[in-house]
Amino acid sequence: MIDNVRLVNHSEGISVPQTIRIATRKSPLALWQAEFVKAELLKHHPQLEVQLVAMTTRGDVLLDTPLAKVGGKGLFVKELEVAMLENRADIAVHSMKDVPMEFPPGLGLTVICEREDPLDAFVSNSYTNLAELPPGSVVGTSSLRRQCQIRATFPELQIKDLRGNVNTRLAKLDYGDYDAIILASAGLMRLGMEARIASRLEPELCLPAGGQGAVGIECRLEDQATIDLLQPLEHSQTRIRVTAERALNRRLEGGCQVPIACYAELDEPGDCLTLRGLVGSVDGTHILQDQLSAPLEQAEKLGIELAERLLAAGAGEILAEVYGTG
């Protein structure tokens, strides 16, 4: 194990990290995100040494079972968090849509980077969009959020689970196991595969997951020197949007793998935030949607208020049924 060596700034009495270790999953997309953070850190702090500590998580191993049945997407972050708590790593880089609502004591989300395209992508070798698919066509996605919204509009399609990293999912499509698959646009763009996107699913058709397209950085809350080094990577507008989305999810007590969607947008002047939220039954027969707007500084409150409205409309009963059958 390589210790985190630090230089002391005697003029300020602050211990400054000389080496930062990034805990990351081994999937191509996770490694891209870690390399992105490494490059950004070196751009702002050329004297740093940045090391990647790649590890396999339970979510990477349990590929034969839908995430909803084995604990949700938190399976992708636990091992990374343990590495930080045991001082085998200093920071962890996550897709924000995979980050659980609560953090272990001593850890926190210290930076949210600028958001990439948050929309879902329709990927097919034969069709341009969902509306073109003939009845009975097989669409691959393990996301309950995507499943419920697609079933609501296209009940004639077959939805089948699809696990694995981006390359694995594309290979299953190319092999003919599916007529189309749904992936996050951001992941395909980051991996240089934007050409595989036949079309994007507009929010009116499929509202994205909270935090989708954004990269977050988690670290030990006591490590102020590392937190300070990370600050140039913070994107305030993305944090505002993701804060509202996660507040809604938290109030609904939604894990990462439930049929909940939420998407916050800033208006053109940048002083008003509009949040759309959705809760649906997995079979798509019951969909609740609503939206609210508020000033930027009320992002957390906005998410909670919209969640309350969804709960008043029956979201709690829908989610209880999902949890009961999961």
Q: What's the pLDDT band for 6 if we cut at 50, 70, 90? A: very low
In 191-251, where does DSSP find H-type helix? 224-230, 236-251
Residue 71 has pLDDT above 50, yes or no: no
As to burial, measured by CB atoms within 10 angstroms (0-12 exposed, 13-18 middle, 19+ buried), residue 237 is middle
Quickly count helices (H) and strands (E) in the chain: 11, 15
How far apart CA 281 and CA 286 sit, in angstroms, is 5
Q: What's the pLDDT band for 62 if we cut at 50, 70, 90? A: very low
* Tens of pLDDT, residues 187-217: 999 999 999 999 999 999 999 999 999 999 9
Token pair of 22, please? 């990034």
pLDDT at 56: 82
Q: H or E stretch including 120? A: strand 120-123
Token pair of 99, please? 């980050």
DSSP strands (E only) in 124-271: 138-140, 158-160, 180-184, 199-201, 215-220, 260-266
Distance of alpha carbon 108 from its chain centroid, rounded? Answer: 16
Q: Which CATH class is domain 6-113+214-234?
A: alpha beta
SS3 assignment, position 109? strand
Q: Which tops the pLDDT comparison, 286 or 8?
A: 286
- Compute the average pLDDT of residues 53-64: 63
Residue 224 has pLDDT above 80, yes or no: yes
Q: What's the pLDDT band for 102 if we cut at 50, 70, 90? A: confident
* Tens of pLDDT, residues 283-301: 999 999 999 999 999 999 9
Known catalytic residue: 120?
no
pLDDT at 10: 34
How far apart CA 114 and CA 41 sit, in angstroms, is 14
**Residue 233 corresponds to which amino acid?**
L
Mean pLDDT of the chain: 89
* Tens of pLDDT, residues 146-187: 999 999 999 999 999 998 889 999 999 999 999 999 999 999
In CATH terms, 120-201 corresponds, of 3.40.50.300, 1.10.3720.10, 3.40.190.10, 3.40.190.180, to: 3.40.190.10
SS3 assignment, position 134? coil
Residue 21: which of 1, 46, 40 has the closest Cα?
1
Token pair of 287, please? 């969909």
Distance of alpha carbon 219 from its chain centroid, rounded? Answer: 17
The one catalytic residue among 90, 98, 117, 120? 98
- Compute the average pLDDT of residues 65-81: 60
Instruction: Note whether 120-201 and 240-325 share their fold.
Output: no
Domain borders along the chain are 6-113+214-234, 120-201, 240-325
Residue 109 has pLDDT above 60, yes or no: yes
Q: What's the pLDDT band for 111 if we cut at 50, 70, 90? A: very high
Sheet holding 158-160, edge to edge: 158-160, 138-140, 180-184, 120-123, 199-201
**75-79, 107-111, 151-155, 212-216 — which is least confidently predicted?**
75-79
pTM here?
A: 0.87
- Compute the average pLDDT of residues 256-277: 90
pLDDT at 200: 98
- Compute the average pLDDT of residues 12-27: 79
pLDDT at 257: 66
- Compute the average pLDDT of residues 223-246: 97
Query: Quick one: 240-325 is in which CATH superfamily?
Result: Porphobilinogen deaminase, C-terminal domain (3.30.160.40)
pLDDT at 325: 53
Do residues 149 and 287 lie in contact, with contact meaning Cβ atoms separated by under 8 Å?
yes
Residue 255 has pLDDT above 80, yes or no: no
How far apart CA 258 and CA 143 sit, in angstroms, is 8
